[in-house]
A and B are shown apart, each in its own frame.
Chain A
Amino acid sequence: MLAEILRRLVATIPVMVVVALAVFALLHVTPGDPAVIIAGDYATSDDIARIRTRLGLDQPFTTQVGLWLGRVVRGDLGTSIFSGLPVSTLIGQRAATTAWLTLFAMLISVGVGVPVGVVAAWRRGSWVDRVVMMFAVSGFSMPTFWLGFILVYIFAITAGWLPVQGYQPLATGLWPFLSHLLLPAITLSVVYMALIARMTRASMLGVLAEDYIRTAFAKGLAPRGVLIRHALKNASLPVVTIIGIGFALLIGGAVVTESVFALPGLGRLTVDAIVRRDYPVIQGVLLVVSGVYVLINLAVDVLYVVLDPRIRY
């Protein structure tokens, strides 16, 4: 198993190289020019050309790729064209917010979605099942920004229990930290909660129809034991896959939530950089996020083995 993990880690290197090249190429065919944005309104064509030269944007594409990859290999993600700050510093300022937001959102999604899905499968066709399915459809359908503002209106403005916006690091205290994360995490989690609930229900329905489940019930085992120890464990592989994909999507998809709650996360960093064509920041963030995706996929594969010993790599 350890050898397999190491082999997979090594295999991520070519994946990352391909991702890096694709990101670089994509950015350079996108319309827009950071030199023009920097040059501002008073610039002449000569001014813009000078800035392009200074940024190295006048170099052939292959030279630019080579220089960038050379720096990345040395652990240098470059420097923001606009702020002059190292990309690693910018990512460092934002990574904790996105990581905590993603983690909280996933905890809520799994904590609610899995039990609800199990109960819906067990009570298939009952009013419980219908309520769960209605909740799932609503969860899919609600726009994140809309839900965010409704939650702000109820819990921050009307009740005054939670703040409207912003992020406080854990170092400022547990309650300030939690209170600033709660509404964004709930907002972000709803769609995944619905997805996980539906997936759990579907997967459980298949397993609950198996002979060994009928046997377990026939032996007089308590429903809770049958559902959790026998059915859920065997139904969990597709759910784990969805959770893995959900993690990846949450990291990349938190931008709307981050904007609604004015959270300084990686999503907003990426969008701001795209708007300004801050190439080093876009490349750096996408490379790091891609690396996280690869690691999450690896973790999911490892979990498969833990959950189902029949699986061998």
Chain B
Amino acid sequence: MSQLDRRQFLAGAAATAAAAVVAAPAVHAQKSGGTLRFVAQADLKILDPVWTTAYITRNHAYLVYDTLFGTDEKLNVRPQMVDKHSVSKDGMKYSFTLRDGLKWHDGQPVVAEDCVESLKRWMKKDRFGRLLAAHGPKLAPADRRTFTLELGERFGPVLEALGKPSSNVPFMMPARIAATSADEQIKEIVGSGPFRFVKDDWQPGNQVVYVKHGDYVPRNEAPSGSAGGKKVNLDKVVWRYMPDAATASAALAAGEIDWWELPPIDFIAKIEQTPALATFLPDTLGTQGWLRPNHLHPPFNNKKARQALVAMMNQETYLQAAIGVPKYYRTCASVFACGGPYASPTGAEGLARQNLERARQLVKESGYDGRPITVVHITDISFLNAAALVTRELLTAAGFNVDLKAMDWSTGLAVRAKKDPPDKGGWNVLHTWWMAADVMHPAVHFGVSGAGAGAWFGWPEIPRLEQLITDFVRAGDAPRRKALAAEVQKVALDEVAYVPWGEWTQPTAHRKSVTGILKFIAPLFWNVSTA
């Protein structure tokens, strides 16, 4: 590209601006006191973390709500609101006792019934929760601080489900609020987390304000991920929404904000050259890109045509085009997050090495009739835009005719839900992404569901996968689960439920006066201080 486009200009202007601030450090003195000013990744519009899976709502909920169990940096599940818990010898009955002194933001004590109602609502929405619900759990309060969970059928990862770190997280709410239908958004935002949401100061599209929950009693352990002691050092946290990256960059450099959650990768180098600023990688597991075929319509209702997608895959090409900076991406020949406990090479040999000749052969064997492949081309999210363009090239090289359908993300969401044939508004191939925490194992990973109409968009019907996932959650020990996860991967890649196109990480940027940021998949505000 010979011309300077807007994005390049803005990046340059912001970088120059940042450099200018360094040259004149007295321009805006840092003066945050007990308030931390944070630029969030998106606009917080929905406040109910059970009603939506949006990451921004999950992140908001980590301030306001608490969880029974947390996940530490090393992905271990540890008690959070729970003081002690026990499991019967046959693994069918669990008992949980809450910590003493837990209070809701309205001053009422947290009681067992609140947790029972919260879990019931969560089990209606979340994938892991629904799997648990399918095993006939009976939840009941035993006394004010204790409740029990009795399984109808064996379900191994109960604690992993209750401590699940990503959407939908089983956040605890007062029983009267948790009684809201899972299809309705809650009206009242009352949690027992370390911060209180200030509804009157909430301006969707502009700012969200949280203040310290004075009655919060942190655990005594050191904080780690969403587990451990949630000791709050800040009086107030103000989230700002800044749609323009160059504005956020200039505001960070000028000291008008303290922490910028998701700076674009092309801003990072300049931020790192600015003495007053620092970057930090809070989630080393990162994000996984997907290429998803639609199993309902030709040609990808044919297994050989789908296998051609694996044979044509070249993750390095996708990552170069979509992410660009090698430091922040890695190829990963596994459907489960590389770096996670279930990553495996089993059945992924074809994914690890591109073989266009084999792809062309598979296309021929599939009986592909030359009809155009409709690729959903999201143009307003840069890495999805790049991924679609790479896919077009590779599909063409494999022998497919390609029709890129350009649209914005919101239109793409509507299109992907359509089961109609591609020539009637449906689609053949789309691209999306998930955080590693959401592709960690078969119970949370939507891409390996073979539930047909009940599966994620693309609707693969692969009964063997469903059986393996059920076996996985019923398995009692870790080695057995690991073996089952490897088998899930083998079947998922053989049937081509989807094709991963690599993984990448996303640094966060902050002023050096901000300290104590914890490693986790979401920004956490306890343990954080600002000078």
| Nearest chain B CB to A167 CB, angstrom units | 8
Decide: A45 and B453 in contact? CB cutoff 8 A: yes
Instruction: Give the residue among A160, A163, A262, A276 with the most B Cβ atoms within 10 A.
Output: A262
B424 at the interface (CB under 8 A from A): no
Mask, B438-453, CB within 8 Å of A = 1, is 0000000010000001
Q: Is the CB of A269 within 8 A of B205?
A: yes
- Asked whether, in the complex, the Cβ of B413 is within 8 Å of the Cβ of A37, the reply is yes
- CB-CB nearest in chain B for A159: B27
Report the separation of the CA atoms of residues A146 and B10 in the bound assembly, to the nearest whole angstrom: 8
Query: Pick the contact of B453 from A44, A163, A276 — CB < 8 Å?
Result: A44
- Tell me if A85 counts as interface (CB < 8 A to partner B): yes
What is the minimal beta-carbon distance from A214 to any residue of chain B, in angstroms? 51
**B21 at interface, CB cutoff 8 A:** yes
Chain B 209-263 residues near chain A, CB threshold 8 A: 240-244, 246-248, 250-251, 253-254, 256
State how many angstroms separate the Cβ of B209 from the closest Cβ of chain A.
13
**Interface pair A262/B16, CB less than 8 Å apart:** no
Given A33-B417, A145-B6, decide whether A276 and B53 contact each other with a Cβ distance below 8 A.
no
* A164 and B43 form a contact (CB under 8 A): no
Main secondary structure of the interface of A (DSSP, over half): helix
Docked-complex contact A153 and B247, CB < 8 angstroms: no
Asked if A31 is at the interface of the complex by the 8 Å CB criterion, the answer is yes
A32 at the A/B interface (Cβ < 8 Å)? yes
Counting CB contacts under 8 A, is A61 at the interface? Answer: no
Question: What is the CB-to-nearest-CB distance from A148 to chain B, in angstroms, rounded to a whole number?
Answer: 9
**Shortest distance from the beta carbon of B261 to any chain A beta carbon, whole Å:** 15
Name A274's closest neighbour in chain B (CB-CB). B410
A262 touches B24 (CB 8 A): no
How far does the Cβ of B478 sit from chain A's closest Cβ, in whole Å? 26
Q: Is the CB of A149 within 8 A of B246?
A: yes
Q: Find out whether the CB atom of A157 lies under 8 angstroms from the CB atom of B250.
A: yes
The answer to whether A272 touches B205, judged by C-beta atoms less than 8 angstroms apart, is yes
Chain B CB within 8 A of A36 CB: yes
Instruction: Name the A residues within 8 Å of B409 (CB-CB).
Output: 275
Give residues 393-449 of B contacting A (CB, 8 Å). Answer: 407-411, 413-417, 419, 446
A82 and B46 contacting across the interface, CB-CB below 8 Å? yes
Chain B residues in 8 Å Cβ range of A40? 52-54
Proximity string of chain B (1-41) to chain A, C-beta cutoff 8 Å, 1 when within and 0 when not: 00000100110011011001100101110000000000000
Q: Which residues of B contact A157 (CB under 8 A)?
A: 17, 20-21, 27, 250, 253-254
- A152: chain B residues at CB < 8 Å are 17, 247, 250
For residue A130, CB closer than 8 A to chain B, the reply is no
- Write out the residue numbers on chain A whose beta carbons fall within 8 Å of the beta carbon of B205: 94, 264, 268-269, 272
Quick check: is B328 within 8 A (CB to CB) of the other chain? no
Closest A residue to B182 using CB positions: A47
A153 touching B20, Cβ below 8 Å: yes
- Flag whether B327 is at the interface (Cβ < 8 A): no
Bound-complex Cα distance A85 to B185 (A): 12
> Considering the chains assembled together, what is the distance between the CA atoms of A163 and B243 in angstroms?
17
Asked whether A156 lies within 8 Å of B254 as measured between CB atoms, the reply is yes
Contact with B along A34-75 (1 / 0, CB 8 A): 001111111111011011001000000000000000000000
A36 touches B414 (CB 8 A): yes
Which A254-306 residues have C-beta < 8 A from chain B?
A: 259-262, 264, 268-269, 272, 275-277
Q: How far is the CA of A94 from the CA of B256 in the complex (A)?
A: 21
Chain B residue nearest in CB terms to A97: B206
A153: B residues at CB distance < 8 A: 13, 16-17, 20, 250
- Return the contact of B203 from the options A44, A93, A277 (Cβ within 8 A): A93
Is A309 an interface residue when CB atoms closer than 8 A count as contact?
Answer: no
Partner of A164, one of B53, B206, B251, B446: B251
A32→B256 contact, CB < 8 A: no
Query: How distant is the Cα of A152 from the Cα of B250 in the complex, in angstroms?
Result: 8
Is A165 within 8 A of B28, CB to CB? Answer: no
The contact of A262 among B244, B253, B410, B453, by CB within 8 Å, is B244
Chain A residues in 8 Å Cβ range of B250:
149, 152-153, 156-157, 164-165
Which of A51, A149, A163 is B183 in contact with, Cβ under 8 Å?
A: A51
A31/B407 in contact, CB under 8 A: yes
Confirm or deny: A238 has a beta carbon within 8 angstroms of a beta carbon on chain B. Answer: no
B185 interface neighbour in A37, A84, A159, Cβ under 8 Å: A84
Q: Which residues of chain B have C-beta atoms less than 8 A from A85's C-beta?
A: 204
CA distance in complex: A177, B47 (Å)? 30
Among the listed B21, B52, B204, B411, which residue makes an inter-chain contact with A90, where contact means beta carbons less than 8 Å apart? B204
Given contacts A45-B453, A82-B45, A84-B187, contact A268 B243 (CB under 8 A): yes
- Whole-angstrom CA separation of A264 from B241 in the bound complex: 9
Distance, CA A33 to CA B127, complexed state (A): 23
Q: State whether B410 touches A164 (Cβ < 8 A).
A: no
Quick one: which of A54, A82, A269 has the most chain B CB within 10 A? A82
Which chain A positions have C-beta within 8 A of B417?
33, 36, 39, 43, 45, 48
User: Which of B10, B20, B419 is within 8 Å of A149, CB to CB?
Assistant: B10
How far does the Cβ of A181 sit from chain B's closest Cβ, in whole Å? Answer: 16
Query: In the bound complex, what is the Cα–Cα distance between A223 and B379 (angstroms)?
Result: 58
Report how far A261 CA is from B411 CA in the complex, Å. Answer: 27
Q: Does B454 contact A (CB under 8 A)?
A: yes
Whether A172 sits at the interface, judged by CB under 8 Å, is: no
Question: Which of chain A's residues 111-145 have a Cβ closer than 8 Å to chain B?
Answer: 145
CB <8 Å contact, B52 and A164: no
Give Cα A48 to B6, complex, Å.
Answer: 37
Given A153-B20, A158-B20, A264-B205, A42–B256 Cβ distance below 8 Å?
no
What is the distance, in angstroms, from A50's C-beta to the closest C-beta of chain B? 6
Closest residue of B by beta carbon distance from A40: B53
B24 to A158, Cβ gap below 8 A? Answer: yes
Q: Does A80 contact B (CB under 8 A)?
A: yes
Cβ-closest chain B residue relative to A41? B53
Contacts of A45 in B (CB 8 A): 417, 419, 453
Q: Could you tell me the distance between the alpha carbons of A166 and B28 in the complex, rounded to whole angstroms? A: 15
- Cβ of B125 under 8 Å from chain A: yes
Residues of B participating in the A interface, judged by any CB pair closer than 8 Å: 6, 9-10, 13-14, 16-17, 20-21, 24, 26-28, 43, 45-47, 51-54, 125-127, 168, 183-185, 187, 203-207, 240-244, 246-248, 250-251, 253-254, 256, 407-411, 413-417, 419, 446, 453-454, 456
* 12 contacting pairs across A/B (C-beta < 8 A): A40-B54, A43-B417, A83-B46, A84-B187, A149-B10, A149-B250, A152-B247, A164-B251, A165-B242, A165-B247, A264-B207, A276-B410
Closest 6 CB pairs of A and B: A160-B27, A264-B206, A82-B45, A40-B53, A33-B414, A157-B17
| 14 further A-B pairs in the complex, CB-CB below 8 A; given A160-B27, A164-B256, A268-B243 | A32-B410, A36-B414, A39-B417, A40-B52, A45-B419, A82-B204, A149-B13, A152-B17, A157-B250, A160-B26, A259-B243, A275-B409, A275-B410, A276-B410
